[in-house]
Structure 1
Amino acid sequence: MLDHGAAPPAESPMRSPRPPVGGLGARLMRRKPVEQLVAEGGQGEGGTLRRSLGMWQLTMISIGATLGTGIFVVLGEAAPLAGPAVAISFVIAGLTALFSALSYAELAGSIPVSGSSYSYSYATMGELIAWICGWCLILEYGVSVAAVAVGWGEYLNELFGTTVGFTIPQTLSAPLGEGGVINLPALVVVLLSMVFLLRGARESARVNTIMVLVKIATLVLFCAIGFLGIKAGNYLPLAPLGITGISAAAATLFFSYIGFDAASTAGEEAKDPKRDLPKAIMLSLLIVTALYCLVALVAVGAMPWQDFTGTEAALAQIMKDVTGHSFWSVVLAAGAVVAIASVVFAVLYGQTRILFAMSRDGLVPKVFAKVDERTGSPRVNVLIVSVFCGVLAGTIPLGELANATSIGTLFAFALVNVAVVILRCTRPEMRRTFRVALFPLTPILGFGFCGWMMLSLPGTTWMVFGGWMAAGLVVYFGYSMHRSRLAVPAAPEAASAEK
């Protein structure tokens, strides 16, 4: 550990250090000490976050943010690419995610704070890179909440159509520009998530756990029924499109794993974050991968892989074909509605906690760090983020902006792999409750896979991403850089309060 014994009082890790000397470059590279990040854990404006989450709840948060539209929709896109070998594609995609998950696990156990990869970057690569990472996370979490909420509305409409023969009119289920006035279901699911989040982390975790268990049970039910319809001939040939098809499907399926990092945003509300966060991240990825592979194996065994082309509701169709009744497909559709709602809930939670950390550092307005004393949650933060995401989901066609969430996520993953290497080199003596295996090969591979995935995205996605980054730099240089807590010496009152 660093020796702070001879350091002047203003430079204690509990306080904001003096402004760095050396001009603009030094200001952009200023780093926040790990000890200061950890010491400030839970502290907000007017209150503190409550440590009420155990490993089980943390695992459910990650599963809730990951297990959703991917298995219900993207399987229909991947099976025509890989054939029956789509289960192998899921394994490859899971291994690709694993490299970054290992890095997240090490850093979450070493720096258990709410900011996730934003805070890890702040401690290792400096303020500018941390801001860029945080700005990417705002894009990833904020827009993905809106995009998933729109998908939830579509599933809800489908469920209504198959059960009661009623569908929500297009004027109330589509945004302006797409034949509607407002996407009311998308707005509703975001606002419902907001209501539960306002009650605090413990109550929110209970609701999330129930929803996650429902969607796991739905997928297990599909496997049990789908198993009865398996025909051995559907597995042959195993890889009709060869290795190329398997790898193409894996690239498509990788984005089904995005969300495993959600537990790292709960670092300041975990009871024992150094012990539980690494376990929760790894356990959630293991459970999700096992479910994905099992569902894929049953699905391609029960329905020829050629029939998946153009079929978004492949699982529901299989349930109907195997049983000969529409009842079970309705059950699956209901499970999908719950599954997607839990993604909205978990991702919205992560967004509020990242903004909480950025606000505490002074990089975004301090209102996002205000904590309600009664519930121990950042209520104003939750209200602002929920209303913004709800309006975005309800009124604006997302288009390519939704695709930009993928590139933002991959960029954040890449930075986490770099942060692990830097922290190992600069702070080798730091106590770590989890260590990346085969260091430094594992984080290097994680960084490489993220770069490869980013390069495989279309040019329009890069253009949207570039515009978002340009806007972020304007905000940073015009606002955040000057209001950073690392740019302002601690006031005497704050210094005495922090003793």
Structure 2
Amino acid sequence: MSNQQRIGARVLRRKPIDQLTHPGSELKRTLGVGHLTMISIGATLGTGIFVVLGEAVPLAGPAIVLSFVLAGITALFSALSYAELAGLIPASGSSYSYTYATLGEIVAWVCGWCLVLEYGVSVAAVAVGWGQYVNELLHLVTGLRIPDVLSQPPGAGGIVNIPAVLVVVIAMLVLLGGAKGSARTNTILVWIKIGALLMFCAVAFTALKAGNLQPLFPLGLAGMSAGAATLFFSYIGFDAASTAGEEAKNPQRDLPRAIIISLVVITALYCAVALAAVGAMPWQTFEGTEAALSRVLTDNVDGAIWPILLSIGAVVATTSVVLTVLYGQTRILYAMSRDGLVPSIFAKLSPRTGVPFANTVVVGLFIAVLAALVPLGSLADATSIGTLFAFGLVNVAVIILRRTEPDRKRSFRVPFSPVTPLLGLAFCLYMMFSLGLDTWIAFLAWMVLGFVIYFGYSVRRARLAVPGDQ
């Protein structure tokens, strides 16, 4: 076999499903369906509704509610595909592992590289939003604010975003204590933020003015689509349960349930909150508002206590997102490291807690630096495009496995396949092309960097053998 043929065989090699299903993992199986559902809700709920809403409303106007519906439908098609594959291949690598079994190593690398972008950058983005709500809460309670020089990144009037660094470090320390303890902490935080959003809806609906919802499409259908593309960031995380495949007690049964339940809960809450927000405050006044929900209550509802309670809920909500998405990032790198595609340090487990200790510290510190120095908007859009690409690959993987492994037992099956996965792929492509040119340039630059790393390091160090290798 020539050198070119050997390289071609390596990049196209597929990992057998049995190796993914029984990977010899040392991770501890401690998580039930409740924990898994709360991981997905914790990783998702709050990201967009507390942080990105202020940027998306000016794009769509009152149609922002329909933007959430469109983004939710897009997520649903992919969620169904995730549910089937999570039950079939309960591995820590999420869609990286699924594409390794179906589309080959080079595509799995691209998917994993997109997931690094999705999880890592979204943690940083939410950490930036956390800092905004901490500042808002401090102002509501004391009348003071953290100076911009210490709470904003360069280019936004500051030098370093210290609050954003703080929340990432806190989440990192919680994760180092072990998966079960982290899951319990997250469950408490999730219930608090669901309560905060229900409180917001109850209060904001008292200030609803029908005129604020008219016209419904002031910026046209294109505006609604642009809003949906930006808001898709707020659905990132529903797949977080799939990264816990090797820590779930009964992954084949519980992972599909957790993914579907979490998405239904999230979509219902998002639509209710968005309707309450644009009904209470004219959509034109949302621009430049990162702590949007708090401002809705401050400017449009009587009673100083409501914005304070909402800001507390927002701080809790974004803390939960940072915690669970950081968890997902470390497990994806764990799976890639075990396969040899990234350095072995990311797969080394602590003998005491059973968590990837060095992995968590390295990732946590890198994301802390990112959160300290990069503005929110750039982070959110870069995350969306990486996520949509990975989701599209998951839909393709379902179609391929239905043909190559038709008899393999599935605990959940996507209804109306292949139509449903094809619709999921189409929606992902549509949303990707709704994003701006700057986002595409950043994404392509990230992909070029990924290919340099793959061909310079990973392709020769991958542990999966190919014919002709010694």
TM-score above 0.5: yes
TM-fit CA distance, 1:247: 3.7
1:486 to 2:464 alignment: yes
RMSD: 2.4
Q: 1:387 and 2:365 equivalent?
A: yes
1:274 aligns to 2:252 (yes or no) = yes
TM-fit CA distance, 1:75: 3.3
1:209 to 169, 187, 191: 187
CA contact (8 A) 2:87 2:253 kept: yes
Does residue 20 of structure 2 align to residue 40 of structure 1? no
1:130 aligns with 2:113: no
What letter matches 1:108 in structure 2?
A
Q: 1:58 aligns with which of 29, 36, 39?
A: 36
1:295 aligns with 2:273: yes
2:382 to 404, 429, 438: 404
Deviations 1:407-455 (A, max 9, x none): 1111101110111011111000010011111110111111111111112
Measure how far apart 1:122 and its partner are. Answer: 0.4
1:94 partnered with 2:79: no
Confirm or deny: 8 A CA contact 1:348 1:386 kept in the other structure: yes
Structure 1 residues 223, 174: closer, same or farther in 2, change over 3 A?
closer
Matched, 1:200 2:215: no
1:209-267 CA-to-partner distances (Å, cap 9, x unmatched) read: 11111111100011111232234554455555554544443333322212111111011
CA contact (8 A) 1:401 1:464 kept: no
Check the 8 A contact 1:400/1:464 in 2, yes or no. Answer: no
User: 1:30 maps to which residue?
Assistant: 13
After superposition, the C-alpha distances for 1:52-109 in whole angstroms (9 at most, x for unaligned) are 1111111111111111231124334444555544323322221111111111110001
CA contact (8 A) 1:228 1:322 kept: no
Instruction: Classify 1:459/1:235 alpha carbon distance in 2 versus 1 (closer, same or farther; 3 Å).
Output: closer
User: Match for 1:127: what amino acid?
Assistant: E
Q: AA paired with 2:103?
A: M
Deviations 1:382-404 (A, max 9, x none): 11111121122224567746532
**One-letter code aligned to 2:20:** L
* CA positional deviation for 1:151: 1.9
1:426 to 400, 404, 407: 404
**C-alpha separation between the residues in 2 aligned to 1:190 and 1:282?**
28
Q: Which residue of 1 aligns with 2:85?
A: 107
Counterpart position of 1:364: 342
Contact 1:481-1:487 at 8 Å conserved across structures: no
Deviation at 1:325, TM superposition (A): 2.3
Change beyond 3 A, Cα 1:403–1:86: closer
Q: What residue number does 2:50 align with? A: 72
Of residues 398-407 and 426-435 in structure 1, the stretch that sits farther from structure 2 once superposed is 398-407
Q: In the alignment, residue 15 of structure 2 is paired with which amino acid? A: K
Task: For 2:153 and 2:342, locate their aligned partners in 1 and report how far apart those are by CA, in whole Å.
Answer: 29
Could you tell me which runs of 5 or more consecutive residues in structure 2 were left unpaired when the two chains were aligned.
none
Give the equivalent residue in structure 1 for 2:263.
Answer: 285
TM-score by length of 1: 0.87
SS in 2 for 1:456: coil
| Residue 441 of structure 1 pairs with residue 412 of structure 2 | no
* Residues 149 and 190 in structure 1, CA contact (< 8 A), matched pair in contact too: yes
Q: Report the Cα distance in structure 2 between the residues aligned to 1:311 and 1:388, rounded to whole angstroms.
A: 27
**TM-score, with normalisation over the residues of structure 2?**
0.92
C-alpha distance in 2 between matches for 1:385 and 1:413: 23
Task: Rate the CA distance shift 1:421–1:391 in 2: closer, same or farther, 3 A.
Answer: same
Match of 2:132 among 154, 179, 199: 154
2:239 is matched with 261
Letter paired with 1:32: K
* Letter of the 1:62 counterpart: S
Q: What's the % identity of the aligned pairs?
A: 65
User: When the two structures are aligned, how many residues end up with a matched partner?
Assistant: 466
Instruction: State the Cα distance separating 1:296 from its structure 2 match.
Output: 2.1
